Amino acid sequence: MKKQFLSVAMGIAFLAMATACNSTKTDSSTGDSAAMDTAMADTSMTSKEAGVEVGGAMMVPSKNIVENAMGSNDHTTLVAAVKQAGLVETLSGAGPFTVFAPTNEAFAKVPAATLSDLMKPAMKADLTKILTYHVVSGALKSSDLKDGMELTTVQGQKLKISMKDGKWMVNGVNITIPDVISSNGVTYVIDGVLMPK
C-alpha cells in the first residue's frame, strides 16, 4: 500500500513538473506534451508491477492467490466454490501453493446437477476434496515442470504433468495460462475440472 501511494505521489509530482515546464509553450504543444507525459507516467507505474491478465483483470504478485482469483471474470465459479468449502483463509495464507484453477467454462463441463449438489452445505467435505485436489504445496513455475512428473496434491492423491504439442497439461487437461504469480504461490489456468479417484 505504501509502495503504491509513493508511486502515485511520484507520478503526480512528475506530471506537475512537466505541466509547469510546458506552460510557456503554445496551447497545442502543451496538450501534446502533457498527454505524452501522462502516458510515460502510466507506463512507469504499470511497469513497477507486471502481471498476467486473466479474465479481464491483471493478476499481480503483490496480491495472494485468492485476491487475484476474485478479480477474474473467468473464475467466479471457482471463487464461489472456494468460499463454500471454507478454503479462502487457507489459500490466502503464506503457502506457498501451486493451484490449478479451472475456468467457469471448465466447471460448465461438469453436469449441472452434480455441480449444484457439490455447492450444498451437506457436500462440503466432497467439495473440499475436489478443490484440494487442484492444489500442490510449493510454488512450481512452468520451468520446474517435467513431462511425466507426478505431483502430490494437498488432498493426498497425485496429478500427472505432461506435454503435448509444446503445451503443458495436467491429468490430460490443458493448461491455458501458466505462471500466474501471486504473493503466496503460482496459479495455472486450466480448461477442465480435475476429479480425484
Instruction: Flag whether pLDDT at 96 surpasses 70.
Output: yes
Instruction: Flag whether pLDDT at 88 surpasses 50.
Output: yes
As assigned by CATH, the class of the 52-190 domain is mainly beta
In Å, what is the CA distance from 138 to each residue of 154, 162, 186?
10, 19, 9
> What's the chain's average pLDDT?
78
Among 73, 40, 45, smallest CA distance to 59 is for 73
pTM of the model: 0.72
Q: How many residues does the chain have?
A: 197
Instruction: Flag whether pLDDT at 5 surpasses 60.
Output: no
The letter for the amino acid at 98 is T
Q: How are beta strands 167-170 and 150-152 bridged, if at all?
A: unpaired
pLDDT tens figures, 159-187:
999 999 889 999 999 999 999 999 999 99
In angstroms, what is the C-alpha Rg of the chain?
22
- Domain ranges within the chain, ordered by starting residue: 2-48, 52-190
pLDDT of residue 48: 62
Instruction: Flag whether pLDDT at 51 surpasses 90.
Output: no
Place of cell 510515460: 40
The mean pLDDT value for 82-101 works out to 89
